[in-house]
Structure 1
């Protein structure tokens, strides 16, 4: 397995040191640099070429969201995970709109961060489960279909399932989130695809993006 090259960006030295020590325990994750500011991070990224940047939102000077925007403009292939204390859905939405692929709270357990890094490295979106639940609360009302005049509106529960499918969760993970069986989720998935006239998962992701349920 190839090593996942990481840069840590946080204006607190103790946080950087703690994260570096934490990640050193994982044989497939290698911290190749750290920065205490957005400006320093941009310079480091140009030379170090990391796979993933762990980026704090609240920093002095250039904040994390501004830094994220600059990273994606300069190096669009580099993946960014926002590692933050903010449990605010608006920060999550702003981060993903700017190009983040992960959102993890600083108080999260070690294995949550490990899983987030590996998930994002694999090209999938990762949102910590507690934040995903907050996102789901915004999916109470069914959205009008726009893909075709022949599509049918989704129920509130179908919208929740669609959101989690589009975010890359497996049937088992969705079942755990919504406290139902995996077979029930498979049934929901079938109904959603039938209503939206979708043939594959990528069609559902495209629909979710078009509806503004998730951001690209």
Structure 2
């Protein structure tokens, strides 16, 4: 039997083990590698081949979005399913702009993961039911030419910081979630304001909410 080979990348070992058990209940699905941070993932992908990467967005040593382009250089054919806690539209838009094949919220994983893998394996795209309406809104606005992709001005890390600001996170909370220092968060905040021509912190949060980062 030719198994569909999958790599799991998430910094929580217990969660990875649970996902692995769900996946390997299906006879022709096999987890061939696991990584707990971005650097470990890059090293792993250079050693093994797989057909699908299930990728968390908030890992230490380079977050998920930061390394997608590098992953493509190593294995251009590798399909990517984002599995994340982040429900903001900013993350969703950025992920699909980087041509991932799926976006799933972690709380839906145990019930819907196999269906998502099957869809992607057959050449389709999977979006969590929770996010589907938001993605439909994106498509509608794009078709009406009402959506301006200011997000393209920002780096992946700046996009992550802006989305977390929109969720009401403090600089300390953002630093902890992204495994970076508070001073680094402050630096990203300044860069975002400069790129978007925004002066006040309150205006930055308002911009993030207004433009769908939450």
Same fold by TM-score, threshold 0.5 exceeded? yes
SS at match of 2:30: strand
SS at match of 2:62: coil
Unaligned 5+ segments in structure 1 are 146-216
SS at match of 1:8: strand
Contact 2:19/2:110 (8 A) holds in 1:
no
Q: State the Cα distance separating 1:56 from its structure 2 match.
A: 0.1
Query: For residue 48 of structure 1, what is the aligned residue in structure 2?
Result: 48
1:102 and 1:144, CA in 2 relative to 1: closer, same or farther beyond 3 A?
closer
Query: For residue 107 of structure 2, what is the aligned residue in structure 1?
Result: 107
For residues 65-108 of structure 1, give each alpha carbon's deviation from its aligned partner in whole angstroms, at most 9, with x where no partner exists: 01222111221100010000111111111111122111011100
Query: For residue 38 of structure 1, what is the aligned residue in structure 2?
Result: 38
SS at match of 1:6: strand
SS at match of 1:107: helix
Q: Name the count of aligned residue pairs.
A: 145
Contact 1:35/1:41 (8 A) holds in 2:
yes
Contact 2:45/2:74 (8 A) holds in 1:
no
Query: For residue 66 of structure 1, what is the aligned residue in structure 2?
Result: 66
TM-score, scaled relative to structure 1 = 0.62
| d(CA) in 2 for partners of 1:137, 1:80 | 23
Does 25-34 or 122-131 show the bigger shift?
Answer: 122-131
Q: State the Cα distance separating 1:139 from its structure 2 match.
A: 5.0
Q: State the Cα distance separating 1:109 from its structure 2 match.
A: 4.7
Query: For residue 156 of structure 2, what is the aligned residue in structure 1?
Result: none
Query: For residue 120 of structure 2, what is the aligned residue in structure 1?
Result: 120
Segments ≥4 residues shifted beyond 4 Å: 139-142
Q: Which has the higher contact order (CA 8 A, sep 6+)?
A: 2
| d(CA) in 1 for partners of 2:143, 2:22 | 42
1:127 and 1:141, CA in 2 relative to 1: closer, same or farther beyond 3 A?
closer
For residues 106-185 of structure 1, what are the structure 2 equivalents within 5 Å? 106-139=106-139, 143=143
Aligned pair 1:88/2:97, yes or no? no
Q: State the Cα distance separating 1:5 from its structure 2 match.
A: 0.4
CA RMSD of aligned residues (A): 2.0
Q: As a proportion of its length, which structure holds more helix?
A: 2
Unaligned 5+ segments in structure 2 are 146-214
1:141 and 1:58, CA in 2 relative to 1: closer, same or farther beyond 3 A?
closer
Contact 2:72/2:78 (8 A) holds in 1:
yes
